[in-house]
Structure 1
Amino acid sequence: MTNYKFLEPYTFANGATVKNRIVIPPMTEESAMADGTVSRDELHYVSLRAGGVGMFISPVANVTPDGKGFEGELSVADDRFIPGLSKLAHAMKGHGSKAILQIFHAGRMSSSSVLRGTQPVSASAVAAPREGMETPRELTESEIETIIQSFGDATRRAIEAGFDGVEIHGANTYLIQQFFSPNSNQRTDKWGGTVDKRMTFALEIIKAARKAVDDYAKSPFILGYRISPEEVETPGIRLADTLHFIDTLADQPIDYLHISMGNAWRTSLNDPSEQTPTILRIKKQVNGRKPLISVGSIKTPAEAEKVMDAGIEFAAIGREYLCEPNWVEKVEAGLEDTIHYSINRAELDDLGLTPILMTFLEGMQANIPFEGESENKQGIEASPILNE
């Protein structure tokens, strides 16, 4: 079957056209050089997966040195990274995929070890409620303004490197989400307090990135925003606040919203009486103002088409693209029955899966199936750090 709706092209409001509705979401692969420079392993990994999908979103890149969250992470914090990022963009754009660079600051989701002795920073001096997490230093107002500008500078570098867009990473417990969360943001100035004030940091980052696009992009450049709908901590982000935020985001100068969840059809994490999938509640709130990307445990063509049938514009396929780098091409060729849904450990080199990446995936219990291994060895739902 080749008449799937997800194989149809899509044109954004800014005029950028993608050839289909399938997206490779940002996935942590810990393969950059120690200083954040693009490695040959990364270039090989992305080149194997480029071409079929409409959009390919990179692993996350930090916008400042103190924004680094883990080893092997990309950086876009300085102009010296542009040559390597240019190679990455070129590899991701092979055969017509749009290359999107995801940019972020880890905030308190880092450590003094990762930062080589520097204390992590956040909206407030509140440690993440997870074992072993350090108490961050509260950012000053001038430091906040500097980080906001760093997102604008990162966007300019992405343009110069040849990417087709950037995705602002406002999800998965990192700094932008930390400013929105009442758990991590206990400020009483203009950056915290009410839900509207807790939006301010994200909105200013969008403004800085948009200005860079307007100033430097010579062709339609895609600006996306990623958000996690809820937190399980108390206090924490609840869906009512997120829907209010979504309503504001839908009127911002961005081109899409990417909804980060471990399962695309998940219902509320905090309200067991809520039976409507969260993605559908968000879709209703957006009301057609921005296209949505839905992600989370989408593997088969039928599952991707279910997203289209719900009126959601894009389906992101992450972990399955580790198993099958030619997923779209096989669907287009009518070869669905040849799609691989598990990994043969003897073929890791052919899949561009390095020992570092495999160790990371297994440590995160990332629910990656391996051929010939029993169900109970497959792991659990992806950790947020996998970033699918």
Structure 2
Amino acid sequence: MVVNAASGNSSDTDNLGTPFTLANGKGVKNRLFKSAMSEQLGTKAYNPSAGLSTLYARWAKGGVGIAVTGNVMIDRTALGEPKNVVLDEQSDLTEFAKWAAAGTQNATQLWMQLNHPGKQIPNFLSKEPVAPSAISLGRGLDKGFNTPRALTEAEISDIVNKFATSARLAKEAGFSGVQIHGAHGYLVSQFLSPRHNQRDDKWGGSLDNRMRFVLSVYQAIREQVGEAFPIGIKLNSADFMKGGFTEEDSMLVVQSLSQAGIDLIEISGGTYESPSMMGDKAKKKSPDEPKKESTLKREAYFLDYMEKVRKLVSTPLVVTGGFRSGTAMNQALQSGATDFIGIARTMAIDPEFPNKLVADNQHSMPLTVPTTGKPALDKLGMVGLVWYEHQMWRLAKGKDAKANLSALGVVLKTMLSAGLSAFKQRRA
């Protein structure tokens, strides 16, 4: 059965194995969506390493319907992490073509996530990052991130064009679609947030002005890739910061993107300052609001928000975060709140997780939180990130993941290989 995307709703009989057709006619074989994780597998020239092809071939064979890459930067002078991949006119497209070919095996769609970090560039990578306004990151992060310079209007237009160029090149290389990274406090998110965007020109102030950047990026990409090439976005439900991007703002942005014709919307939340996307439990809408028992039971961080959004738009939706069991995933689909289920860390441990879920709707995979046994070291070493990163590196070398991989060993190995700079603030 193929779902009519124009309806915007999944049937109450759909399950993870049910195909889906996007509004542009592109079919997706099932409802499993591998959300982006930062692989840190770029070469010194910022091209994809051979390991990325090995990793994504493994995931494609594992049965996922759509796989989204870790964030690929559109500008080699604006890196979010030391080993980022960059796609621009200087890139070696043959290496990207190999990655695309590997990741589109087994009727899998491979979408490239495109990103600009804005001010979220560690200070060892940039002395003067750029942002909508010259406002530093708060909560002590100014120690690791330099205060940005406000972008000029000409520079904003240049960045919009770079997004479009990267998308065109991704299509030429054989990727199935692209996803704009509009979440987690990166540049698109910074423009949307009144906390970080305090401009007094057409790019700031009202929500209509603050969303001008993301709509401009989408429209520029569409002009380069055509109507039939899928474009998605990862968007915050809110950034969970006082004076920041609110749930109400987010819903209006979702409606505007839907009206503009975007093909798929993935919902996440948080920023570096309030990293809601990094935990393993359902997130509160505000620091003082208790978590609903129903939300905890259904496992998904942002499912309550999605239920509200579904009433507003027919654009296909993805909810990511916290799903571990086929039972909860199928319940989410059948509720009509989402059309795809985003998974990530589970696939870093078991690349066959999608195949197992489709074969057995009750299959589950609880994850334990890796720890060194020393909370201070866990925080310093960013264990919740680097432990999964090391699992991906194992897969990229053709090995299996190791569920009992020592968290302490991972921290020590990372520290020895890259020094303390390896633990500078990083996010997916």
TM-score bracket, normalised by the shorter chain, equals 0.7 to 0.9
Q: Distance in 2 between matches of 1:360 and 1:91?
A: 30
Contact conserved, 2:316 with 2:339, CA < 8 A, in 1? Answer: yes
Q: Offset at 1:302?
A: 1.6
Which SS does the other structure have where 1:250 is aligned?
A: helix
When residues 50 and 207 of structure 1 are mapped into structure 2, their CA distance, relative to the original with a 3 A threshold, is same
Residue of 28, 31, 38 corresponding to 2:48 = 38
- Is residue 175 of structure 2 the alignment partner of residue 150 of structure 1? no
Q: How far did residue 13 of structure 1 move?
A: 0.4
Alignment of 1:281 onto 2:277: no
The amino acid of 1:326's aligned partner reads E
Which sections of structure 2, spanning at least 5 residues, go unmatched? Answer: 1-12, 270-276, 296-301, 371-380, 392-400, 412-423
State how far apart, in whole Å, the 2-side matches of 1:98 and 1:361 are. 30
The structure-2 alpha-carbon separation of the partners of 1:327 and 1:199, relative to structure 1 and needing over 3 Å to count, comes to same
1:175 pairs with 2:187: yes
Residue 384 to residue 19, structure 1, CA distance change in 2 (3 Å): farther
Runs of at least 5 residues in structure 1 that lack an aligned partner in the other structure: 345-358
Contact map agreement 2:346 2:365 (CA 8 A) in 1 = no
Aligned to 1:125: 134
Residues 1:335 and 1:326: Cα distance change in structure 2 (over 3 Å): farther
Corresponding residue for residue 324 of structure 1: 350
Q: Which residue of 2 aligns with 1:206?
A: 218
Q: Which amino acid aligns with 2:38?
A: T
Contact 2:68 2:111 in 1 (8 A): yes
Q: Which residue of 1 aligns with 2:208?
A: 196
Q: Deviations over 1:158-183 (max 9, x none)?
A: 11000110001111100000011111
- Mapped partners of 1:378, 1:39: distance in 2: 21
Q: Secondary structure at the match of 1:113?
A: coil
Distance in 2 separating the partners of 1:98 and 1:38:
18
* 1:11 CA drift (Å): 0.1
The 5-angstrom pairing of residues 9-88 of structure 1 reads 9-51=19-61, 52-88=63-99
1:255 equivalent in structure 2: 263
**In the alignment, which residue of structure 2 is the partner of 1:98?**
109
Task: Give 1:77 deviation, angstroms.
Answer: 2.2
Offset, 1:283: 3.9
CA contact (8 A) 2:383 2:407 kept: no
Confirm whether residue 294 of structure 1 aligns to residue 319 of structure 2: yes
Q: How far apart in 1 are the matches of 2:69 and 2:406? A: 31
Q: Percent identity, aligned pairs only? A: 26
CA contact (8 A) 1:323 1:340 kept: no
Partner of 2:333: 308
Q: 1:101-153 CA deviation, whole Å, 9 max, x = no partner?
A: 000100000034224xx511100111111422210111000000000011111
Bigger shift: residues 36-45 or 180-189:
36-45
- The alpha-carbon deviation at position 193 of structure 1 amounts to 0.7
Q: Number of paired residues?
A: 362
The verdict on how the C-alpha distance between 1:146 and 1:375 changes in structure 2, with shifts beyond 3 A counting, is closer
Preserved CA contact (<8 Å) 2:56 2:102: yes
Q: 238-247 or 153-162, which moves further after superposition?
A: 238-247
